[in-house]
Chains A and B, each alone.
Chain A
Amino acid sequence: MSRLRRNLAPYLLVLPGGLWLLLFFAVPMITMLSLSLQQGDIVNGYAFTGHWQTYVDAIGNYRTQLFRSLLYGAIATIALIVLAFPVAYWIAFYGGRRKATYLFLLLLPFFVSFVLRTISWRQILTDEGPVLGPLKDIGLLGDSFHVLGTPFAVIAGLVYNFLPFMVLPVYVALERIDPRVIEAARDLYADPATAFRKVILPLALPGVFAGVLMTFVPASSDYVNSAVLGSSSTTMIGQVIQAQYLATADYPTASALSFVLMAVLLIGVFTYARALGTEDVMKVAAR
């Protein structure tokens, strides 16, 4: 009796939460896939017709925005690796007893709403604002110079908002490195650059991989940064999907686009995982 209860215990514990995830995470994906193949409108209802043409039209009409989103996401992710690595490195190896304090400082902006932080950037970067205004007054910048509305502003916004998601996993990977391993490399006459390249970097890669997973997907599918900091020439696919769902209510097209976006991101992540070696992916997934 008690043995049976023991065997059942994990299932009973998992059941409520698992059911919730099944009903509101897995099932909606299927509903969305089905809706993307239906035809009709919100007033008269939809009927399943297996209409693949929706996909062809959606990709055809919005391939610019789709491509742009992946490009912005990729550029932001590369910039994130470059900007975050030195910070994670310094905190991991030189942070001493203040490591926790530095990590806390990096997380400080998260106590302010994501939307509010992005709007705050718009206020800072506006044409006559505190940064550009004085530079224009002294003639360093031309009057027509602006930052808002440019791809730079959107990508910088993405980098800003996702930086801690790159620093933390890289930091965790670097922090785990046994200092004796580096000493051993030095004892074997590796110069600092070689020790970095052959010892530290390979050991940090799982952290970088986790960081890329945590930043590339949300950055590519983001629509807040491009809406607040961008212009019509920086429209990302997230904005298109959001507008199709919430403004024009063209559910089949919006569902098809969401699926294409997710498929492309999944393919991207798995190609990247293959290139890096599946072992690391399993390690990250198991964490």
Chain B
Amino acid sequence: MRNSRALHIYTWVVVAWLTLPVAVMIAFGFNDTPGRYNQTWEGFTLKWYGRVFGIDALTEALLVSLVIAIITAVVAGALGTGIGYALGRYRFRGSGTVNLILFAAMSAPELVMGASLLTLFVSMGVGLGVTTISVAHIMFSISFVSVVVRARVLTLDRSLEEAAADLGATGWTTFWRVTFPLILPAVGSGMMLAFALSIDDFVVTNFTAGTTVTFPLWIWGATRVGLPPQVNVMGTLIFAVGVLIAVLSGVRSRPRRRRG
């Protein structure tokens, strides 16, 4: 019993360690610093929340990130759902290879994926920008969406579809009226995962962006001169929205899980 008490405390220490930089980031968004220098505490203020869009280049970078993340979520959501559904539902020749490619794409170093895409784009003479970044983000998100959807399809209760067929529904109707609503939550989580992976991605973006600047790239570029408080504010807002969505979807899915 004493052991578990020690482990309990240890777990909280680890949680505190993990969240410390987040707390610092949030705190310095409220720092009453006179200018760009935001390293020491000068007092509490809300003024940076009023001026959150005060730096045009930063605002633009955030918008670019949002656009790319939405494109990624939609396209990778569609393509990944196709693969995940096929792997979960059908036994077919080549499914092992597909699994292997998904696994490879998830475990390959980001650096190598970004670098190899850069060599492809350069050798094809393609200009780098929002399109190439989106292509890259969709590429690394497909596997994650597939895995989430596959897991859901594998645990589906087939008798519901059989019941629909018994009641005279065609395969097409059964899919859209019964199967699709059942896998929709997984498609949704897969798309949210793709969105989150995309908006946070630095390494692959670094290689495929050219002169286009996303939110993480802007932060990276500004590190040497010091990060303005607006970055903290935007980081805090993204954090808050992300946590809110996660908590709400967790609360919504909980009663359903109990019933199952």
Residue ranges of A at the interface with B (Cβ–Cβ < 8 Å): 2, 7, 9-11, 13-18, 20-22, 24-29, 31-32, 35, 42, 46, 83, 86-87, 89-91, 93-94, 100, 102, 104-106, 108-117, 119-121, 123-124, 126, 129, 160, 163-164, 213-214, 217-218, 220-224, 228, 238, 241-242, 245-246, 251, 254-255, 258, 261-262, 265, 285-286
Give me 30 A-to-B residue pairs in the complex whose CB atoms sit less than 8 angstroms apart, sorted by A's number.
A14-B86, A21-B102, A24-B117, A25-B101, A25-B104, A25-B105, A26-B101, A28-B113, A28-B120, A31-B119, A31-B120, A35-B119, A90-B10, A106-B14, A109-B21, A109-B22, A111-B239, A111-B246, A112-B238, A116-B219, A116-B235, A213-B107, A224-B202, A242-B111, A245-B118, A246-B206, A254-B115, A255-B119, A258-B116, A286-B99
Cβ-defined contact, A94 with B246, below 8 A: no
Cβ-defined contact, B139 with A117, below 8 A: no
Cβ-defined contact, A9 with B90, below 8 A: yes
In Å, the complex CA distance between A9 and B171 comes to: 12
Collect the chain A residues with CB atoms within 8 Å of residue B139's CB: 20-21, 24-25
Within 8 A of A (CB), among B17-66: 17-22, 24-25, 28, 39
Collect the chain B residues with CB atoms within 8 Å of residue A245's CB: 115, 118, 207
CB distance from B18 to the nearest CB of A (A): 5
Which of A24, A83, A262 lies at the interface centre, i.e. has the most chain B CB atoms within 10 A of its CB? Answer: A24
Collect the chain B residues with CB atoms within 8 Å of residue A42's CB: 122
Cβ-defined contact, B25 with A217, below 8 A: no
| A112-B22 contact, Cβ under 8 Å, with A21-B142, A100-B250, A242-B111 | yes
Which of A93, A120, A164 lies at the interface centre, i.e. has the most chain B CB atoms within 10 A of its CB? Answer: A120
CB distance from A8 to the nearest CB of B (A): 10
Cβ-defined contact, A18 with B83, below 8 A: yes
Collect the chain A residues with CB atoms within 8 Å of residue B117's CB: 24, 28
Cβ-defined contact, B98 with A14, below 8 A: yes
Cβ-defined contact, B113 with A116, below 8 A: no
Nearest residue (CB) in A for B239 is A111
Cβ-defined contact, A108 with B14, below 8 A: no
Cβ-defined contact, B101 with A18, below 8 A: yes
Cβ-defined contact, B202 with A113, below 8 A: yes
Which of B28, B79, B94, B109 lies at the interface centre, i.e. has the most chain A CB atoms within 10 A of its CB? Answer: B109
Within 8 A of A (CB), among B83-139: 83, 85-87, 89-90, 92, 94-95, 98-105, 107-113, 115-120, 122-123, 135-136, 138-139
| A27-B115 contact, Cβ under 8 Å, with A89-B7, A285-B103 | no
Cβ-defined contact, B24 with A124, below 8 A: yes
Interface of B is mostly: helix
Collect the chain A residues with CB atoms within 8 Å of residue B231's CB: 116
Cβ-defined contact, A105 with B19, below 8 A: yes
Interface of A is mostly: helix
Instruction: Name the 3 nearest CB pairs between A and B, nearest first.
Output: A17-B79, A120-B21, A28-B116
The one of B82, B119, B146, B215 that contacts A113, using a Cβ cutoff of 8 Å: B215
Indicate with 1 or 0, residue by residue over B199-234, a CB within 8 angstroms of chain A CB atoms: 110110011000000011001100100010001000
A-B contact sample (5 more), CB < 8 A, given A20-B79, A29-B116, A117-B21: A13-B82, A14-B94, A31-B123, A217-B108, A238-B111
B242 within 8 A of A: yes
| A126-B39 contact, Cβ under 8 Å, with A120-B22, A242-B111 | yes
Cβ-defined contact, B18 with A106, below 8 A: yes
B8 within 8 A of A: yes
Cβ-defined contact, A221 with B21, below 8 A: no
Nearest residue (CB) in A for B14 is A87
| A120-B109 contact, Cβ under 8 Å, with A17-B146, A35-B123, A83-B14 | no
Cβ-defined contact, A255 with B115, below 8 A: yes
Nearest residue (CB) in B for A192 is B3
Cβ-defined contact, A105 with B7, below 8 A: no
Collect the chain B residues with CB atoms within 8 Å of residue A17's CB: 79-80, 82-83, 142, 146
B155 within 8 A of A: no
In Å, the complex CA distance between A35 and B138 comes to: 24
